[in-house]
Amino acid sequence: MKFFNYSTVLLAFLCSVAVSAQEPVQVTVTEDTDAPVISKHIYGHFSEHLGRCIYGGLYVGEESMVPNTAGVRNDIIEALKELKIPNLRWPGGCFADTYHWKDGVGPKDERPTMVNRWWGGVTEDNSFGTHDFLNLCETLNAEPYLAANVGSSTVKEFTEYVEYVLHQGGSPMAEWRKENGREEPWDVKYWGVGNEMWGCGGNMTAEHYADVYRQYATFMTDWTNSDGLFRIASGANVDDYHWTEVLMRDVPKHLIEGVALHSYSFVEWNEKGSSIDYSEEQYFSTMKTALKMDTLVTKHSAIMDKYDPNNTIALVVDEWGGWYDVMEGTNPGFLYQQNTMRDAMIAGTSLNIFNNHARRVKMANLAQTVNVLQAVVLTEDEKMLLTPTYHVLKMYNVHQDAKLLPVNFDSPTYNFEGEELPAISISASKTDAGEVNVSMVNIDAHKSHTVEINLGDMDVKDFSGTILSSEDLQDHNTFDQPEKITPKELKKVKYRKGVLEVVLPPFSVLVVTGK
């Protein structure tokens, strides 16, 4: 005989009635001829010499039993191709300002070792260097973004790096490159002039770094930047608006193409908590920091608008993502963490923010690609899995280089212990082929929301959708269950008289495409 707890049943019934009684979220999507294109480079990635991101992650060596191409895992190459990653930032991060590029070229057995003092104090053999990285980018059809050493380097070392990579021939560095097996130069457009100069890059003031930046940027190319370099200044830490103000005020516009911004999502910086065993309170706190990205981008953009009203300098969010305590039993300096539906929420909302700020945000880089922080890929010996974050970025790649469609709506709130956050996040775009794509996130841990999207007179009819959801907020893929969380086809897409209706379950990500 079954016994029912009638109070529980009644509560469930009343909750279901309340949910069904909620008014649908009304969303208007419009076309604006002045709207920007969402740069594909917003969907960039970041691979630092940190933990098992490079060694034991991307790079296993040519002698490995794991199938590889020039030492790089074939399964990761295929996964990143499927993701359509547009650019990849390397070698750091903090590591960049202790890395001397000449140690990573030439015969591998003659390269000196180095101690990675920032991340675990491990000794690296420099077997993965510039040739390996740039050749990998060619394989991936991704543009390389070289974060070059300013903190412990010299202008001469920096400019020789540019010459080694870019010069056709007839110069000492170009001839050395040829001796090392690369006849033609690589096409490297994006260059980071140092990293986190306010911290691990040298603990500089904004005023001092502005002068240092001017010096380095001057010698990277000629009077008119005929090399077409995209020079990215080390930018602000989160809400350090003074840093952005100084760079925009003190650096001549002909010396700079981008200003960086770093901001991570976490519970509390000194008490980050577990990446898998977290409470709703910790989830809510993490999403609060994630959603602050909109305020950060808005305020830094406003400063840039003051000095650059013609929008010639890009805001580059080249480090973003979730940051928690490392998995139990792993090296604290390796920053290895799992990836749950919480991370899918961070990814979906952050990308919607970047899309909607596409006028100023021209590049962003998720930290990091493999085995570190909010990784899209995790590996364990020969095994590999794709994380919920991977699936969100793949679902969203329909926005790459599509024209932004402005959206207007009032979000319902996600309430927790007297605080509230907007539950719904949306961005939309239209491709050159006329496809309309709408990406939506519901961060609410409990409530579903019906969303009605008015597309007006846009000539789209055939709709399909993909949804990422799971039963528990803490769900994640493991090497025993690598496909526990995977995108599913959206079975119910209602469209009538220009209005699209979908249901967003709790903590879910949904992308709808109309043709």
> Which residues on neighbouring strands pair with residue 511, listed in sequence order?
439, 466
- The predicted pLDDT at position 11 comes to 38
Q: Would residue 41 be called left, alpha or beta, if left means φ above 0 and alpha means ψ between -120 and 50 degrees?
A: alpha
Q: Are 327 and 375 in contact (CB under 8 A)?
A: no
Closest Cα partner for 101 from 229, 33, 21, 188? 188
* Intervals of the chain under pLDDT 70: 1-21
d(CA 70, CA 139) in angstroms, rounded, equals 11
Give me the torsion for CA of 341, 345, 346, 347, rounded to 10°: 90
- The predicted pLDDT at position 8 comes to 37
**Secondary structure string (H, E, C) spanning 20-38:** HHCCCEEEEECCCCCCCEC
Closest Cα partner for 343 from 367, 359, 321? 321
- The predicted pLDDT at position 5 comes to 42
d(CA 345, CA 503) in angstroms, rounded, equals 16
Q: Which residues of 293-310 are buried (b: 16+ CB within 10 A; e: fewer)?
A: bbebbeebbebbeeebee
Residue 143 a catalytic site member: no
* Residues sharing a CB contact under 8 Å with residue 239, sequence separation 6 or more, in sequence order: 296, 299
- The predicted pLDDT at position 18 comes to 46
Please provide the DSSP assignment of 288-301 as one string: HHHHHHHHHHHHHH
Among residues 124, 143, 160, 196, the one annotated as catalytic is 196
Among residues 207, 319, 328, 417, the one annotated as catalytic is 319
Structure tokens at 25: 């979220």
Structure tokens at 345: 């929420």
Q: Omega into 368 within 30° of 0, i.e. cis?
A: yes
- The predicted pLDDT at position 21 comes to 52
d(CA 462, CA 515) in angstroms, rounded, equals 5
Q: Are 403 and 376 in contact (CB under 8 A)?
A: no
- The predicted pLDDT at position 497 comes to 87
Structure tokens at 150: 């300013």
Residue 319 a catalytic site member: yes
